[in-house]
Structures are given as C-alpha cells and as structure tokens.
Amino acid sequence: MDPERAAELFNDSYLRCMKDPAFMDKFYARFLACSPEVKEKFRYTDIEKQKRVLGESLLQLMLAETGLQSEILLDKVAEIHSSRKLDIKPHLYKLWRDCMLETVEKCDPRFDEEIRQAWEITLNAGIIYMISKYE
C-alpha cells in the first residue's frame, strides 16, 4: 500500500474512532491491563493528559509517514521515551501497537484488513523510529 493511501485510510479510521468519546479510555484500559510492566510505567501518569498527547501523536505519525511533517516532533517524543528519560523498553511498543489495533477494530465500524494494514504501516513507522532512538 502506498503511503498516501495508508495515510488516507488511517486518517479516516482515526476520525471514526475519535467519534467514540471512550476510544482513548478503551485503549488505555486494554493497554494497562496487558502487562504489569506497562501498568507500572503509567503508575504516576496523568491519563487525561496522556490521552490528549496520544491523539496528537497519532496524527503526527500519519503526517510523518506521508512526508508532510518533519521528524522534529517525533524526535522530542523519542527523546522522552528513550533510555535516558522514561526508559520505555523496545518490546513494549509491540504491546502498544497490538492494543491500539484491537481497540481500533472494536471502535471503527468500517474496520477491515485494509484499514488494519494502514494502521500497521503508520504505527510501525513510528515504532521503528522510536526504537532507533532508544539508546
């Protein structure tokens, strides 16, 4: 799938998901329950603020994937998540992605294999970038 098609499908799906006011709550409930390590990482996190940041980050990933956004904002996010700050271990990103895909599947009434692929393309690009900046 070409990046523009993936971005279009991702964006449309994201907008449908965000029509569900509980989308982010559903994601974080799933994510925090998936691993004691994840739950511990979020122990002192302001989840309301985190939900807003995640929404913005997802859009930034889509823009970065299409070349419409520079990597400057991703650099800041990657630095915060690196071993030097929050120390988000690389293996946790797969859990994050899987929980996000499961949540999208439940919240997007048009979810299908093509939309799953668009989300995977967009999320994987960001995950690869974040992991590359971990050390």
Q: Write down the pLDDT at residue 71.
A: 65
The span from the CA of 9 to the CA of 98, in Å, is 18
What local confidence, expressed as pLDDT, does residue 64 receive?
A: 72
pTM confidence score: 0.92
Domains and CATH numbers, the chain: 3-132 (1.10.490.10)
pLDDT of 73 strictly over 80: no
* pLDDT tens-digit readout, 74-116: 788 889 999 999 999 999 999 999 999 999 999 999 999 999 9
Q: How many CB atoms lie within 10 A of CB 17?
A: 24
Amino acid identity of residue 57, one-letter, is: S
Helix or strand (DSSP H, E) at 38: helix 36-41
CA distance 72 to 81: 15
Task: Report CA-CA distances (Å) from 109 to 56, 64, 119, 128.
Answer: 22, 26, 15, 28
Residue 25 has pLDDT above 90, yes or no: yes
